[in-house]
């Protein structure tokens, strides 16, 4: 699996060997944690991708919605549950604070929601820091994660312009809608990947939908870095 791969919800669960019922999944496997994010309109949390997708500022999660309980959006995001055990926020917080002190950062796989039931793998990020900040009358938790070096892509320049291989969320959503969730070459709806029509290695941009398309695994592999 590599950044840009598109998965159904079931495929994502199969990849992680777990039923992903929540957005924050600390140490889902011995090798990594998993978070689910969304930048779509109406997303429940204020996540953001910065520096061309290399940095993720991820918002912690609210208390559960309970009948007769307070509005989760009116309560500070908790680090501990009512029984004193750490919440998912608390688990990620402790590891982030350890990283701030020099401990090896937690590896976090990040999946981004494209539409209902459809997710894109954004890569493995290193959890580097955590803090709280005010938001609409309460305190929310924020986590900073950076794309791991082994999944990082070097910057290439063409003239005065710099191109990043990471595809912005707005471009992913526009391409998915335009290509109708199908490989543009054969119409397959499985094993899809966001592909640069003019390859990134040859100066193609990730920043415009006109240079990004959906390809199935077969055609993506066959193309590699060729310009058709």
Residue 16 has pLDDT above 60, yes or no: yes
Q: What angle do CA 224, 112, 133 make, to 5 degrees?
A: 135
Q: What is the pTM of this model?
A: 0.82
pLDDT for the residue numbered 165: 60
Q: What angle do CA 67, 70, 73 make, to 5 degrees?
A: 115
The mean per-residue pLDDT over the stretch 32-38 comes to: 96
Residue 125 has pLDDT above 90, yes or no: yes
Domains, the chain, in order of start with CATH, read: 6-151 (2.30.280.10), 156-223 (3.40.1800)
d(CA 25, CA 95): 13
Residue among 170, 163, 171 nearest 203 (CA)? 163
Sign for the CA dihedral angle at 27, 170, 177, 40 comes to positive
Residue 37 has pLDDT above 90, yes or no: yes
d(CA 44, CA 37): 9
d(CA 7, CA 11): 6
Q: Report yes or no: 48 and 33 within 8 Å, Cβ to Cβ.
A: no
Condensed to tens digits (0 to 9), the pLDDT of residues 157-176 reads: 333 334 456 788 888 889 99
Least confident interval from 66-70, 92-96, 105-109, 136-140: 66-70
Residue 68 has pLDDT above 70, yes or no: yes
- The residue ranking higher by pLDDT, 139 or 149, is 139
The mean per-residue pLDDT over the stretch 73-84 comes to: 94
Q: Report yes or no: 89 and 79 within 8 Å, Cβ to Cβ.
A: yes
Q: Is 199 exposed, middle or buried (0-12, 13-18, 19+ CB in 10 A)?
A: middle
Token pair recorded at residue 90: 């608390």
Residue 209 has pLDDT above 90, yes or no: no
Percentage of the chain surpassing pLDDT 90? 58
pLDDT for the residue numbered 219: 86
């Amino acid at each position: 699996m590599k950044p840009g791969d598109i998965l159904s919800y079931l495929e994502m669960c199969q990849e992680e060997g777990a039923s992903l019922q929540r957005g924050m999944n600390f140490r889902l496997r011995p090798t990594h944690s998993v978070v689910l994010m969304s930048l779509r309109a109406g997303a429940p949390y204020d996540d953001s991708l910065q520096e061309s997708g290399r940095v993720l500022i991820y918002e912690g999660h609210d208390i559960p919605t309970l009948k007769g309980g307070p509005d989760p959006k009116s309560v500070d995001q908790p680090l501990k549950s009512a029984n004193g055990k750490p919440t998912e926020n608390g688990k990620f917080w402790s590891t982030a604070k350890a990283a701030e002190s020099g401990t090896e950062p937690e590896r976090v796989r990040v999946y981004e929601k494209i539409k209902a039931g459809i997710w894109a793998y954004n890569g493995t990020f290193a959890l580097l820091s955590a803090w709280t900040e005010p938001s609409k009358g309460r305190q929310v938790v924020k986590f900073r994660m950076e794309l791991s070096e082994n999944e990082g892509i070097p910057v290439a320049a063409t003239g005065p312009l710099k191109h990043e291989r990471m595809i912005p969320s707005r471009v992913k959503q526009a391409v998915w809608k335009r290509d109708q969730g199908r490989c543009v070459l054969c119409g397959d709806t499985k094993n899809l990947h966001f592909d640069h029509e003019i390859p990134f290695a040859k100066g193609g941009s990730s920043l415009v939908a006109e240079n990004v398309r959906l390809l199935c695994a077969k055609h993506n592999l066959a193309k590699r870095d060729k310009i058709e």
